[in-house]
Amino acid sequence: MLTTSSIIEVKFNNGKREYFGSLSAIFEMYTEQEIGCKLYQLHDKAHLQLGGEPFITPKCKIYKRIVYRKKQNK
């Protein structure tokens, strides 16, 4: 049986991709100027839909992706 969770993908205009477990984690590594938006803009009006269209800034595209995992037996 599979379980699902979400992950945030940031694809920069230069082709570089980074993956994060939360929106706020993006801003621990990058500044607002490097991303091209503020954290509240990503939270505002649920722009990021799981598996949907990206949030586009002048610097990057931000996606919310689905991650599938096998359930572990303990």
pLDDT at position 14 is 97
The per-residue pLDDT for range 17-74, each reduced to its tens digit, is: 999 999 999 999 999 999 999 999 988 755 667 777 899 999 999 999 999 988 888 7
Its pTM stands at 0.84
How far is 5 from 67, CA to CA, in rounded Å? 5
**Strand order across the 2-12 sheet:** 17-20, 2-12, 60-70, 55-56
